Amino acid sequence: MTLTTHLPALQVVVPMLTAPLVVLMRVPGLAWATAAVASFMAFIIAVSLTGAVLQGGSVIYLMGSWPAPYGIELRVTSFSALLLLIVTAASTLTLLAGKRSIDADVDPEQQPLFYAAWLLAVAGLAGIVVAGDAFNIFVFMEIASLASYVLIAAGPDRRALPSVFKYLVMGTIGATFYLIGVGLVYMMTGTLNLGDMEARIQEVGDLRSILVAAGFITVGLALKAAVFPLHAWLPSSYTYAPHMVTAFLAACSTKVALYVLLRFDFLVFQQNLPAHAVQFFIFLMPLAVLGVLVASGVAMFEKDLKRLLAYSSVAQVGYILLGASLGSVMGLTGGIVHIFNHALAKGALFLAVACLGARIAQLQLKGIHGVARHMPWTMAAFVVSGLSLIGVPGTAGFISKWYLVSAALQEGTVGLILVAVVLVSSLMAVVYIWRVIEAAYFGATPSSAKPAGEAPPALLVATWVAALANIYFGVDPSLPLTLSTQAATTLLEHLP
Contacting residues toward another protein, per CB under 8 A: 1, 3, 5-6, 9-10, 13, 16-17, 19-21, 23-24, 61-66, 69-72, 107, 109-110, 113-114, 116-117, 120, 123-124, 127, 133, 135-136, 139-140, 142-143, 146-147, 149-150, 153-154, 161, 180, 184, 186-191, 200, 204, 207-209, 211-213, 215
Output 187 or 409, the one with its CB closest to another protein: 187
Q: How far apart are CA 103 and CA 111, in angstroms?
A: 8
CB 217 within 8 A of CB 179: no
Integer Cα distance of 388 and 147 in angstroms:
30
Q: 21 or 54, CB closer to another protein? A: 21
Cα separation values, 278 from 104, 199, 201, 495, Å: 50, 20, 18, 11
Whether the link from the prior residue into 229 is cis, omega within 30° of 0, is yes
According to DSSP, residue 126 is labeled: H
CA distances from 442 to 57, 105, 385 (A): 51, 30, 19
Identify whether the C-beta of residue 396 lies closer than 8 Å to the C-beta of residue 402. Answer: no
For residues 308 and 297, what is the distance between their CA atoms, to the nearest angstrom? 10
CB of 420 to another protein, least distance (A): 33
Decide whether 135 or 402 has the Cβ nearer to another protein.
135
Tell me how far, at minimum, the Cβ of 159 lies from another protein, in Å.
14
CB of 244 to another protein, least distance (A): 16
**Of the candidates 336, 489, 479, which has an alpha carbon nearest to the alpha carbon of residue 404?**
336
Q: Minimum Å distance from CB 118 to another protein?
A: 10
- CA nearest 360: which of 349, 348, 372? 372
Shortest Cβ 238–another protein spacing (Å): 18
CA distances from 46 to 315, 337, 340, 492 (A): 28, 17, 14, 25
Q: Where are the beta strands (DSSP E) in 233-274?
A: none
Minimal distance, residue 217 CB to another protein, in Å: 12
CB of residue 260 vs another protein: minimum separation in angstroms? Answer: 15
Please report how close the Cβ of residue 282 comes to another protein at its closest, in angstroms. 19
Closest CB to another protein among residues 228, 319:
228
Q: Which is nearer to another protein, 210 or 491 (CB)?
A: 210
For residues 296 and 422, the answer to whether their CB atoms sit within 8 Å is no
Taking the least distance from each CB to another protein, the nearer of 53 and 150 is 150
Q: Rounded distance, CA 189 to CA 382, Å?
A: 50
Rounded CA separation 244/111 (Å)? 14
Element (H, E) at 398: helix 396-409
**Count of CB atoms situated within 10 Å of the CB of 465:** 17
| Nearest distance, CB of residue 70 and another protein, angstroms | 6
Q: How far apart are CA 322 and CA 338, in angstroms?
A: 11
Residue 2 or 447 having the CB closest to another protein: 2
Q: Which is nearer to another protein, 20 or 376 (CB)?
A: 20
Q: Given the complex with another protein, which of 136 and 490 has the nearer CB atom?
A: 136
